């Protein structure tokens, strides 16, 4: 019953891993397709200097948009105008928008809401962001950098349009700076976002490196493997849009899908991780519920029925439900969790639940995963230290096991295999393909009694070395008894080996040595009716003793 249950669990685990691999492959293909079908652009950045005063704002709700596929969809528009001063000319204006289309115009007078019929044409537009997306309504979250010409006069007007009411803002923080200084300002302002994401990314690589070390040492710590992947994906999801957009991806739409794909992978990797941390944890239903949810949301999105931005709350709420379910199941299986892991696991899930509540009932703008990131960083640091300790313990234990194995499987005197090594190796050989050669050294008792055990040890060493040179694989099974295990040999080959051994001993005995080598041997292979290698060995021993008797009679 236990065997059947274990087989069923392994089958379910294989199905989960196979499904995850398929989803990862599909998401990767789609992501690569988006990269290939979009244009990359570099943005030049400058110093962070807030322009808080002097902006004139106007907003309006409209029932059509030139940017969206659905022209009848309601959009929310904000225009912000500011008189161009001497300090602004030749510098860069910077601001961030969430899932919005942006145009920047140079006009003589401030305008409330800009339309082409008001005399604003493409020639007046010095910056545009947000081509019609391949899928959905959002061009992505972006930090904009707009270079104001040296000759600019009048007014600079920023027009922001979004189809999402919760992403519509009544004002923005506009910054202006000189060449390359804005970057340092944003880096200082968003240092926690950037550095925490970078830290989690580094932790992910370190965990995978530790896993590689453990794998090379013969152990596969799947907890480290899945937590390492989870860290990399989480870092991808919580990245700082400024740095990833402008210096890695260089395309907002790619960034948009990168965030969502990584979000979809998080629960699948989390399930794989928790299964390996908590023994007895059954998350088969939860896993396939997430798989179905991902497929449904993707289908709705790519068929333009619904946008990810409009349905993502469903997915986030499902993560909260999943966290609650995990806490319940971990509590039930708490005895199967190491004591040192219990508090860390529960704390991580509580951080996640609080973050979901804030996201669902609070704001969806800004650093949405701040609370989860804090909990995850603490947990990863704990897991990293725990993983290092486990690897060191494993390496130490393997060193001990290796020494014990050498003592158990290697004869200390002759350096050949022991009877335990023979029993180990014979298990890997097909019974109907093996031959066994049995040897017995002559005169060991004579040398021990006459010259002492040191001279007897010399005889054993020389005999073992001679057999090893001819046959290769040798085991010492008794005081002066040796066994050779061979595979797929014929009687003719065995006769030739026997003759070669005889010549080796003659050549050895011609020289003056402390001992003289004499030994009897006999061999046998598989015969019909044999049930084990002991049956073959008994015949080989019998033939060896026959030869030994014949040698005494000469």
Confidence check: pLDDT of 112 > 80: no
For 234, residues 6+ apart whose C-beta sits below 8 A from its C-beta are 200, 204, 262, 266, 373, 376
Mean pLDDT over 284-298 rounds to 84
Q: By mean pLDDT, which of 101-115, 420-434, 503-517 is the weakest? A: 101-115
Say whether 419-553 and 56-187 share the same fold. no
Q: What is the CATH number of domain 419-553?
A: 3.30.70.270
Position 136 confidence tier, pLDDT thresholds 50, 70, 90: low
Mean pLDDT over 263-283 rounds to 78
Q: Which CATH number fits domain 56-187: 3.40.50, 2.60.120, 2.60.40, 2.30.30?
A: 2.60.120
For 96, residues 6+ apart whose C-beta sits below 8 A from its C-beta are 141, 142, 143, 144, 172, 173, 241, 242
Tally of CA atoms within 13 A in the half-sphere of 159 that contains its CB = 24
Confidence check: pLDDT of 70 > 80: no
Burial zone of 105 (CB within 10 Å; 0-12 exposed, 13-18 middle, 19+ buried): buried
Position 3 confidence tier, pLDDT thresholds 50, 70, 90: very low
Alpha helices, H only, 245-307: 252-277, 284-302
Q: From residue 529, how far is each of 428, 434, 488, 526, 539 by CA, in Å?
A: 20, 14, 18, 9, 13
Max mean pLDDT range (156-160, 359-363, 402-406): 156-160
pLDDT tens by residue, 471-522 = 888 898 888 899 888 888 888 888 888 889 888 888 888 877 788 888 888 8
Mean pLDDT over 440-457 rounds to 88
Mean pLDDT over 341-357 rounds to 71
Q: Can you give the pLDDT at residue 315? A: 82
CB 389 within 8 A of CB 445: no
Domain ranges of the chain: 56-187, 193-394, 419-553
Model pTM? Answer: 0.54
């Amino acid at each position: 019953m236990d065997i059947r249950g274990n087989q069923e669990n392994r089958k379910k685990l294989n199905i989960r891993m196979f499904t995850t691999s398929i989803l990862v492959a599909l998401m990767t293909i789609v992501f690569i397709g988006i990269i290939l079908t979009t244009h990359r652009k570099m943005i030049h950045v400058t110093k962070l200097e807030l322009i808080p005063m002097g902006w004139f704002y106007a907003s309006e709700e409209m029932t059509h948009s030139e940017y969206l596929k659905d022209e009848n969809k309601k959009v929310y528009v904000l225009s912000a105008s500011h008189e161009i001063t001497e300090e602004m000319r030749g510098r860069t204006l910077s601001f961030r928008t969430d899932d919005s289309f942006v145009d920047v115009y140079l006009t003589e007078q401030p305008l409330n809401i800009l339309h082409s019929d008001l005399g604003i044409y493409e020639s007046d537009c010095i910056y545009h962001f947000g081509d019609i997306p391949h899928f959905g309504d959002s061009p992505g979250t972006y930090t904009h950098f707009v270079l104001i010409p040296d000759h600019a006069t009048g007014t600079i007007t920023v027009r922001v349009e979004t189809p999402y009411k919760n992403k519509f803002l009544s004002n923005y923080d506009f910054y202006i700076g000189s060449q390359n200084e804005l970057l340092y300002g944003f880096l200082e302002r968003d240092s926690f976002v950037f550095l925490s994401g970078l830290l989690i990314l580094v932790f992910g690589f370190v965990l995978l490196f530790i896993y590689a070390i453990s794998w090379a040492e013969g152990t596969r710590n799947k907890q480290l493997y899945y937590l390492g992947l989870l860290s990399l994906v989480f870092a991808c999801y919580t990245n700082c849009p400024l740095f990833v957009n402008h210096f890695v991806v260089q395309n907002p739409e790619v960034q948009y899908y990168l965030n969502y794909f990584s979000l979809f992978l998080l629960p699948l990797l989390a399930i794989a991780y928790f299964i390996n941390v908590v023994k007895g944890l059954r998350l088969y239903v939860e896993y396939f519920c997430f798989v179905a949810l991902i497929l449904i949301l993707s289908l709705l999105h790519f068929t333009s029925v619904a946008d990810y931005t409009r349905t993502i709350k469903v997915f986030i709420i499902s993560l909260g439900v999943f966290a609650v379910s995990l806490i319940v199941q971990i509590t039930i299986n708490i005895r199967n969790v190491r004591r040192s892991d219990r508090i860390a696991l529960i704390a991580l899930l509580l951080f996640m639940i609080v973050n979901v509540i804030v996201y669902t009932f609070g704001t969806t703008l800004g650093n949405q995963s701040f609370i989860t990131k804090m909990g995850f960083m603490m947990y990863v640091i704990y897991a990293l230290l725990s993983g290092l300790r486990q690897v060191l313990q494993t390496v130490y234990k393997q060193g001990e096991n290796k020494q014990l194995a050498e003592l158990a499987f290697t004869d200390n005197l002759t350096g050949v295999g022991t009877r335990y090594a023979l029993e180990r190796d014979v298990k890997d050989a097909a019974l109907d393909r093996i031959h066994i050669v049995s040897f017995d050294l002559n005169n060991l008792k004579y040398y021990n009694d006459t010259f002492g055990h040191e001279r007897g040890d010399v005889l054993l060493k020389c005999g073992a070395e001679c057999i090893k040179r001819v046959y290769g694989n040798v085991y010492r099974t008794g005081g002066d008894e040796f066994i050779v295990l061979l595979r797929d040999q014929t009687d003719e080959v065995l006769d030739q080996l026997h003759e070669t051994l005889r010549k080796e001993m003659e050549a050895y005995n011609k020289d003056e040595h402390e001992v003289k080598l004499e030994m009897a041997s006999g061999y046998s292979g598989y015969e019909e009716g044999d049930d084990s290698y002991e049956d073959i060995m008994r015949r080989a021993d019998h033939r060896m003793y026959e030869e030994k008797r014949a040698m005494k009679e000469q």
